[in-house]
Amino acid sequence: MRTRGFEIVTDEKRKHLQEDIQLPTRGSKHAIAYDIYSPIDVVIEPMGKQLIWTDVKSYFQPGEALIINVRSSMGSHPVLMANAQGWVECDYYNNPKNDGNLGINLLNLGKEPYIIKKGDRIAQAMFIPFLVSDNCNTEEERVGGFGSTGK
Protein backbone atom coordinates (compact mmCIF):
# COMPACT_ATOMS: atom_id res chain seq x y z
CA MET A 1 0.00 0.00 0.00
CA ARG A 2 1.29 3.45 -0.88
CA THR A 3 1.34 5.83 2.07
CA ARG A 4 2.64 9.19 0.78
CA GLY A 5 4.44 10.60 -2.19
CA PHE A 6 4.30 12.72 -5.32
CA GLU A 7 3.05 12.13 -8.87
CA ILE A 8 2.61 14.12 -12.06
CA VAL A 9 -0.98 15.31 -12.55
CA THR A 10 -3.01 13.86 -15.42
CA ASP A 11 -2.35 15.31 -18.87
CA GLU A 12 -5.86 16.80 -18.95
CA LYS A 13 -5.09 18.95 -15.89
CA ARG A 14 -1.45 19.83 -16.59
CA LYS A 15 -0.61 23.48 -17.24
CA HIS A 16 2.77 22.78 -18.88
CA LEU A 17 2.14 19.71 -20.99
CA GLN A 18 5.26 20.13 -23.12
CA GLU A 19 7.60 20.38 -20.12
CA ASP A 20 9.41 17.56 -18.34
CA ILE A 21 8.25 17.62 -14.73
CA GLN A 22 10.65 16.95 -11.89
CA LEU A 23 9.05 15.36 -8.83
CA PRO A 24 10.01 16.82 -5.43
CA THR A 25 13.13 15.44 -3.80
CA ARG A 26 14.90 15.69 -0.46
CA GLY A 27 18.36 17.28 -0.50
CA SER A 28 19.81 14.78 1.97
CA LYS A 29 18.76 11.64 3.82
CA HIS A 30 17.97 13.71 6.95
CA ALA A 31 16.14 16.55 5.20
CA ILE A 32 12.64 17.06 6.62
CA ALA A 33 11.17 18.64 3.50
CA TYR A 34 11.01 17.97 -0.23
CA ASP A 35 12.23 20.58 -2.69
CA ILE A 36 9.61 21.62 -5.25
CA TYR A 37 10.91 22.57 -8.69
CA SER A 38 9.64 25.14 -11.16
CA PRO A 39 8.55 23.55 -14.45
CA ILE A 40 9.03 26.86 -16.33
CA ASP A 41 11.07 30.05 -16.53
CA VAL A 42 9.37 32.94 -14.71
CA VAL A 43 10.22 36.57 -13.97
CA ILE A 44 8.39 38.11 -11.02
CA GLU A 45 8.47 41.88 -11.24
CA PRO A 46 9.01 44.04 -8.12
CA MET A 47 5.86 44.09 -5.99
CA GLY A 48 4.38 41.47 -8.33
CA LYS A 49 3.22 37.94 -7.73
CA GLN A 50 3.15 34.81 -9.85
CA LEU A 51 1.26 31.57 -9.44
CA ILE A 52 3.42 28.71 -10.68
CA TRP A 53 1.54 25.48 -11.32
CA THR A 54 3.97 22.64 -10.67
CA ASP A 55 2.01 19.89 -12.46
CA VAL A 56 2.77 17.78 -9.38
CA LYS A 57 0.25 16.34 -6.94
CA SER A 58 0.76 14.64 -3.57
CA TYR A 59 -0.94 11.70 -1.94
CA PHE A 60 -0.97 10.91 1.76
CA GLN A 61 -3.17 9.48 4.48
CA PRO A 62 -6.12 10.99 6.39
CA GLY A 63 -4.70 12.53 9.56
CA GLU A 64 -1.75 13.92 7.61
CA ALA A 65 -1.19 17.21 5.79
CA LEU A 66 1.34 18.64 3.36
CA ILE A 67 2.78 22.00 4.45
CA ILE A 68 4.44 24.15 1.77
CA ASN A 69 6.89 26.99 2.51
CA VAL A 70 9.47 28.94 0.54
CA ARG A 71 12.97 27.53 0.73
CA SER A 72 15.17 28.92 3.49
CA SER A 73 17.75 30.01 0.89
CA MET A 74 15.14 32.37 -0.56
CA GLY A 75 15.37 34.37 2.68
CA SER A 76 18.25 36.32 1.15
CA HIS A 77 15.73 37.71 -1.36
CA PRO A 78 12.51 39.52 -0.45
CA VAL A 79 10.43 36.74 -2.07
CA LEU A 80 7.81 34.84 -0.12
CA MET A 81 4.66 32.85 -0.65
CA ALA A 82 1.71 35.19 -1.24
CA ASN A 83 -0.39 33.21 1.26
CA ALA A 84 2.55 32.86 3.70
CA GLN A 85 2.24 29.07 3.83
CA GLY A 86 0.42 26.42 1.84
CA TRP A 87 -1.71 23.81 3.60
CA VAL A 88 -2.79 20.79 1.57
CA GLU A 89 -5.34 18.21 2.74
CA CYS A 90 -5.39 14.60 1.57
CA ASP A 91 -8.65 15.11 -0.36
CA TYR A 92 -6.96 17.66 -2.65
CA TYR A 93 -5.33 14.68 -4.42
CA ASN A 94 -7.22 13.73 -7.61
CA ASN A 95 -9.90 16.42 -7.06
CA PRO A 96 -12.01 16.88 -10.22
CA LYS A 97 -11.16 20.56 -10.71
CA ASN A 98 -7.37 20.32 -11.10
CA ASP A 99 -6.35 16.75 -10.13
CA GLY A 100 -4.49 18.09 -7.08
CA ASN A 101 -2.03 20.27 -9.02
CA LEU A 102 0.18 22.04 -6.46
CA GLY A 103 0.37 25.78 -7.12
CA ILE A 104 3.12 27.93 -5.64
CA ASN A 105 2.08 31.60 -5.49
CA LEU A 106 5.19 33.75 -5.01
CA LEU A 107 5.32 37.45 -4.13
CA ASN A 108 8.35 39.63 -4.88
CA LEU A 109 8.65 42.45 -2.33
CA GLY A 110 12.03 43.51 -3.70
CA LYS A 111 13.08 46.35 -5.96
CA GLU A 112 14.52 44.09 -8.66
CA PRO A 113 12.86 41.42 -10.82
CA TYR A 114 13.17 37.93 -9.33
CA ILE A 115 14.21 35.40 -11.96
CA ILE A 116 13.25 31.73 -11.72
CA LYS A 117 14.63 29.26 -14.22
CA LYS A 118 13.04 25.94 -15.10
CA GLY A 119 14.33 23.40 -12.58
CA ASP A 120 14.98 25.95 -9.83
CA ARG A 121 13.81 24.95 -6.38
CA ILE A 122 10.98 27.34 -5.48
CA ALA A 123 9.44 25.86 -2.34
CA GLN A 124 9.66 23.03 0.18
CA ALA A 125 6.93 20.61 1.20
CA MET A 126 6.76 18.59 4.39
CA PHE A 127 4.33 15.83 5.36
CA ILE A 128 3.08 16.16 8.93
CA PRO A 129 0.52 14.40 11.14
CA PHE A 130 -2.25 16.51 12.65
CA LEU A 131 -4.89 16.15 15.35
CA VAL A 132 -8.57 17.09 15.37
CA SER A 133 -10.61 18.27 18.33
CA ASP A 134 -13.48 16.36 19.94
CA ASN A 135 -15.93 18.98 18.72
CA CYS A 136 -16.18 21.32 15.73
CA ASN A 137 -15.74 18.51 13.19
CA THR A 138 -17.45 18.22 9.83
CA GLU A 139 -18.52 15.57 7.38
CA GLU A 140 -18.29 17.97 4.40
CA GLU A 141 -16.49 16.71 1.30
CA ARG A 142 -14.16 18.74 -0.93
CA VAL A 143 -15.91 19.99 -4.04
CA GLY A 144 -13.18 22.10 -5.66
CA GLY A 145 -9.47 22.54 -6.13
CA PHE A 146 -6.94 25.21 -5.18
CA GLY A 147 -8.24 27.37 -2.30
CA SER A 148 -11.72 25.80 -2.35
CA THR A 149 -12.41 24.76 1.24
CA GLY A 150 -14.58 27.13 3.22
CA LYS A 151 -16.34 28.60 0.19
Decide if 136 is inside a domain: no
CATH number at residue 75: 2.70.40.10
Summarize pLDDT for 81-96 with one digit per residue, the tens.
998 899 999 999 999 9
Model confidence at 144: pLDDT above 70: no
Examine residue 92 and state whether it is found in any structural domain, yes or no. Answer: yes
Q: In sequence order, what are the residues at sequence separation of 6 or more whose Cβ sits closer than 8 angstroms to the Cβ of residue 30?
A: none
Q: What is the CA radius of gyration of the chain?
A: 16
Whether residue 26 is contained in a domain is answered as yes
What is the pTM for the complete model shown?
0.89
For residue 98, what are the CA distances in angstroms to 76, 83, 133, 147? Answer: 33, 19, 30, 11
56, part of any domain: yes
> What is the Cα 137 distance to its own chain's centre?
25
* Per-position b or e across 5-42, b if 16+ CB within 10 A of its CB: ebbbbeeebbbeeeeebbebeeeeeeeebbbbbbbbeb
Residue 117 belongs to domain spanning = 5-129
In a domain? residue 29: yes
Q: How confident is the model at residue 50 (pLDDT cuts 50, 70, 90)?
A: very high
The answer to whether residue 37 is domain-embedded is: yes
Q: Flag whether 115 is in a domain.
A: yes
pLDDT of residue 74: 75
Note the pLDDT tens digit of each residue in 108-139: 999 999 999 999 999 999 999 999 888 877 77
Provide the domain count of the chain. Answer: 1
Cα gap 130→112, rounded to integer Å = 39
Is 141 a domain residue?
no
